[in-house]
Amino acid sequence: MTRIQLILLAAGGSLALLAGAFLFQTLGYAPCKMCLWQRWPHAVAIAAGALAVVIAPRVFAVIGGLAALTTAGIGIYHTGVERGWWEGPSSCTGDAGGLSGMDSSALLPGADVDPVVLCDEVVWELFGLSMASWNASLSLALAVIWFIAATTRSQPSA
């Protein structure tokens, strides 16, 4: 594969993961704070892919790879929080400052408020892996593709 093909594959992978996150959200799986953190590096990777096609492919391939590593790192951290390996941010774990037993009507009576989503609860999993775990695994694979693209020699034009 050429450098540009690898970049498009990696950026397309981030686009697919981001689209999947939004699909799950439309299906009723509201994201927690850490889930939202994992989305931003995918947006950076997609933008890096678009820019790499136009200018400085090697530079933007490195940026895309770093973005993929960033979201993978957040995903690993989130997985550890979900599995109880370490503590997460107090604002979205445990009882979230006493909010865990409350519904939206108790928080703001009369308002239509989404429920509080805690970061240490697994709301969906496949083959024993949560969404955060899948994001981490797939993002690590995308980072490998990005860095292969960054180190691949440019193909001479025919």
Backbone angles phi, psi at 55, to 5 degrees: -140, 150
Per-residue pLDDT at 71: 97
pLDDT at 116: 74
Q: What is the DSSP string of 98-151?
A: TTTT--HHHHSTTS--PPP--TTS---EETTEEHHHHHHHHHHHHHHHHHHHHH
pLDDT at 158 > cutoff 60: no
pLDDT attached to residue 157: 52
In the DSSP assignment, the letter for residue 4 is H
Give me the CATH topology for the region 3-88+119-151: Bromodomain-like (1.20.1550)
Token pair recorded at residue 27 = 């299906």
For residue 19 the two structure tokens come to 């689209």
Confidence at residue 60, expressed as pLDDT on a 0 to 100 scale: 97
User: Given a cut of 70, is residue 96 above it in pLDDT?
Assistant: no
Question: Smallest Cα–Cα separation from 53: which of 13, 5, 12?
Answer: 5
What pLDDT is attached to residue 94? 73
pLDDT digits (tens, 9 = 90+) for 104-155: 555 556 666 566 788 888 888 889 889 999 999 999 999 999 999 999 987 6
The reported pLDDT for the residue numbered 15 is 98
Q: Is residue 66 very low, low, confident or very high in pLDDT (cuts 50, 70, 90)?
A: very high
Note whether 146 and 64 are within 8 A (CB): yes
